[in-house]
Structure 1
């Protein structure tokens, strides 16, 4: 269709038992993509620490926990706080492999934290979802020494706004990102709201189902990258739309990304 591979490859540490068993394949593919000249981003649809290491999406990743349970998760030394750190420990060997291989990872945990579909989300304020993000970074980057992780904070383009109420603070965030699912493309208001949060930090479209147009890329110039959700690539975009995005002057494909 384009003769190109994208300059960004995305994977997921996942939740279902069969996918968790295949985490090594995700790591191996990430190494390959990095070697071939693409950046690597990982997210994690993680199971709640109130249950087991693996779970279904419905009733697992997509579930609600009580305010008391969430409060315990973010309380240092509590049973659920320790359970959360054990959950994080399950990812450490894979992230460590990428560190050892010299692969920097655009790591996007606890994504769409302004949404209510996931167990970690829809908890604004200092002791809400942002606090869990802080704990996660402190543990993985600090305690576990995973300094190859580039921390990507993420919200969805919920028209209710108030996205900054979920921001964990500049010292915890390297990249500010938006998932675009309420509409085809981020609006000018979305873009400005993200700019207000990001300040001088890079910002990205972390999930989208419709290829950005030339008009969007030319007018909203601070997006550092966009990631197309793979299931939507062909079904939601024409060949011409895909080609127009791949060959836009501001879009870098595999092998065109030059790091300092």
Structure 2
């Protein structure tokens, strides 16, 4: 089936300022974009910042298909505040901001990074906090048809992040038990941690809410590593996945898409 590619403008088109990236994606021929949380220093940015971000997407005329919840200071190494007992207020405040962005841009898929394990805090307590926050987020975005996504991350690159495999993410989904909490299938992270991508698709097809791709190792464009993307795409097609496939790789130099000649949209 035809593949629908979206561009993650927090990792691609970084040669442009943030507010010019949606237009850059449009000019490169894409009709959809996604972003990480655009303000790593704050769960509640200013009204001016929110408006400028939304306006940049509206002016570009592209679809906004994915957005992260506030995840702490990612450039400094944080990977989410969802499970941090002392930061539940920050996460929940960001949910309100996200809902306002969704009203403006139409985005409906939201990635909630789980957060790293904390010294001196029991893993069971962090999991309890994460479950409550995910349920809160799920109920909030359900009001406008939104989906919350849960994502494993590559071992060794993201601190003490506890979700590494498809099975880890699915266990969180089962614990939260909300119908609009889904699995974010990221080929790079899963392959880096040893998951068989085709088997993961077959085993968890009903729970996959979004797909992101980069090659592994290296997180470069498809074709720069060892992932068999032809086999992965075939498995996704056979599983009936018809959502967006988001490009979330690190380009070697300026953003370009020559690899798509082999796997076109």
TM-score of the two chains, using structure 1 as the length reference:
0.60
1:95 to 1:24, Cα distance in 2 relative to 1, 3 A: same
Question: What CA distance in whole angstroms lies between the structure 2 residues aligned with 1:25 and 1:154?
Answer: 22
RMSD: 4.2
Which structure carries more helix by proportion?
Answer: 2
Alignment partners' CA distance in 1, 2:108 and 2:24: 19
Which runs of no fewer than 5 residues in structure 1 stay unpaired? 50-72, 74-80
Cα 1:48–1:129, aligned 2, differ >3 Å: closer, same or farther?
Answer: same
Superposed, 1:42-57 pairs within 5 Å as 42-49=35-42
For 1:86, the equivalent position in structure 2 comes to: 48
Tell me the TM-score normalized by structure 2: 0.59
Alignment of 1:111-260 (within 5 A): 111=71, 117-118=77-78, 121=81, 123-124=84-85, 127-141=88-102, 145-156=103-114, 160=123, 162=127, 163-167=130-134, 168-169=136-137, 170-172=139-141, 174-183=146-155, 186-197=165-176, 199-201=178-180, 203-205=182-184, 207=186, 208-211=188-191, 213-221=197-205, 222-229=207-214, 231-233=218-220, 237-238=225-226, 241-248=228-235, 249-250=238-239
In structure 2, what is the equivalent of residue 7 of structure 1? 4
CA shift, 1:245, in A, is 0.6
User: Equivalent residue of 1:220, what SS?
Assistant: helix
User: In the alignment, is the contact (CA less than 8 A) between 2:68 and 2:112 conserved in 1?
Assistant: yes
Pairs aligned (count): 210
The answer for unaligned runs of 5 or more in structure 2 is 118-122, 156-162, 246-262
